[in-house]
Structure formats: C-alpha cells, structure tokens
Structure 1
C-alpha cells in the first residue's frame, strides 16, 4: 500500500488523468475518490465536486448527431458525485433485519436508494478507529423496507460553484434519475 498526501489541486489533476485514461477509469471513483472522503474537509469536497462536475462530466456524457451517449464508467462517476455532494445528505433511521437492531446512517441518495457514508450506534460512528474511518462500502445501500425515517440535512452553500452554474448544485434529482435525465 502506498500512502500519498496530495493537495486538492494535485488530487483533482490525478483523478482527471485517471478518468481520461482508458482502463484506469474503472476503479478511480470507488477506490480513490470515494475512499478519500474521510480525509477531506467540507471545502475540499465542495471543490472536488464542482471541478469534477465542470471538467470531467464530458468524459462520460456526450452528444453525437443529436443522440446522447455515455462512456464506460459513467455510473460510478455519478455515484462518486452523489457521495461528494454535501447538499445530498440524509440521516436515515432503519431497522436492520439481519442484526435485529435499529441503526442510523448518514446517507446520500443515488439511483433511487439511500447509500450510507457512515453508520451510527448511540451517536457514534460504527467502525471508526485509529486505523479505520468507518466509511461504508461504495456499493452499500439501505433496503427500502428497512427504512423507518428520513431527515434531509440542510443544503450548504458551495463557494466554488461559478455564477450561472448554480443549477448543478441545486439539482439533486440528477443522482436519482441520471439514466433518464442524461441518456
């Protein structure tokens, strides 16, 4: 395992290079961007979300002869954007039918479901230790039948969003309906 310490600009440049590479883009979103979330400040997440939306989006979605198309990896890219978007946060209370206990999770919406960033028991992040951040798996989700309550967090401002592009920050439906909105 190699540990790197990168500033946000270097991190963004590396991610963009991986995203534009043919075979490299397969794992960049879940193995690099998603797993880096616990190390990011709120401002880092806002910065990365905006510049990835502005500069990398066209790597996955394009129009040719009036027809909308995608490149391989677009779903993972949208999944990472949904996870980074701090306005896309929900506290979900659910009854875990496997462990037979009620839990809470800080989640984000993606593809019609709630995906946990962090699980909580008694107000503490589950699995958070000196060696582990408690971040849940990229593919984890809370089954709809388990959900008891959902509370949306207030959407924060993102100082990095450029004038004229505020709709990108405010359009949370894109994460639930990206297949119909973008294809």
Structure 2
C-alpha cells in the first residue's frame, strides 16, 4: 500500500485526471474519493463536492446534437457526489435481520435508497471510525425511522449555483432528470 499526502488541490487535480482516463474512471469514485471521506474535514467535503460538481459533472453528462448523453462511470460519479454532500445526511434507525437488533447509522440517499456512511457505536452519538462499503444499502424493509439532518451552508458554492447545493432530488432521480 502506498500512502500519499495530498493537499485538497492536488487531490482534486488527481481525481479529475483519473476521471478522464478511460480505464481509471471505473474505480476513482468508490476506491479513491469515497474511501477518503474519513480523512476529510467538513470543509474538505464541501470543497470537493462543489468543484467536482462544477468541473467534472460535464465530463459525465453532456449534450450532443440535441441529445443528452453520458460517459461510462456516471452512476459512480453521482454516487460519490451524493456521499460527499453534507446536506444529504439522514440518521436511520433500522432492525437488521442478521442479528434482529436495532441499529443507528448516518446515511446518505442515492438512487432511492439509504447508504450508510457510519454506524453509531452506542446507538446515539459516537460514530464508528469505520466507513461502510461504497455499495452497502440499508434495505427499506429494515428501516424503522428516518431523520433528515439539517443542511449546512457550503461556503464554496458560487453565487448563482446555490440550486446545485439545494437540489437533493438529483441523487434519487438523476437517471430521469439528467438523461
């Protein structure tokens, strides 16, 4: 394993380069961006979310001859944006069929489902330090309660682009909304 120490600008430039590479883009969102979330501050997540939305979004969603198109990897890109968006946070209480116990998780919504970022250790306050897998979903039939967390301000969002930050529906309906 190689450990790299990148500032936010270097990280963003590296991710943008990976996203442009045909074979690299398959893994950049789940293996690099998502796995880096535990190392990010709230401000880092806001920074990456905004600049990825502004600068990389158009690589995946574009119009050609009046027809909307996508590039390979657009779903994973949208998934990573959903995970980075701090306004897209929900505290979920669910009963696992595996152990028939109530659990709490900090989740984000994507494609109509709740994906856990962290499980709460004591059921209320302390998050586990272990990030959940990129493709882990809490089945809807397990969910007992959903509490939407307050949407924080994102100081990186440029004037005139606030709708990007406020449009959480895009993560559930990106296939119909953007295609």
Mind listing any 5+ residue stretches in structure 1 that lack a counterpart? 129-133
2:120 aligns to what SS in structure 1? strand
How far the C-alpha of 1:120 sits from its partner, in A, is 1.3
Q: Distance in 2 between matches of 1:35 and 1:79?
A: 13
Which deviations, in whole Å up to 9, do the C-alpha atoms of 1:117-148 show, x marking residues without a partner? Answer: 0011314334x3xxxxx100000010000000
Q: Distance in 1 between matches of 2:9 and 2:146?
A: 35
Matching residue of 2:164:
168
Q: Distance in 2 between matches of 1:62 and 1:125?
A: 38
Matching residue of 1:22:
22
85-94 vs 113-122, which deviates more?
113-122
Which deviations, in whole Å up to 9, do the C-alpha atoms of 1:4-46 show, x marking residues without a partner? Answer: 0110000000000000111110000000000000000000000
1:125 aligns with 2:127: yes
Q: State the number of aligned residues.
A: 177
Q: Distance in 2 between matches of 1:119 and 1:45?
A: 19
Matching residue of 1:42:
42
Map 1:105-124 to 2 at 5 A. Answer: 105-122=105-122, 123=124, 124=126
Map 1:1-183 to 2 at 5 A. Answer: 1-122=1-122, 123=124, 124-126=126-128, 128=129, 134-183=130-179
How far the C-alpha of 1:103 sits from its partner, in A, is 0.1
How far the C-alpha of 1:114 sits from its partner, in A, is 0.4
TM-score (norm 1): 0.95
TM-score (norm 2): 0.97
Cα RMSD (Å) of the superposition?
0.7
How far the C-alpha of 1:59 sits from its partner, in A, is 0.9
59-68 vs 79-88, which deviates more?
59-68
Matching residue of 1:131:
none
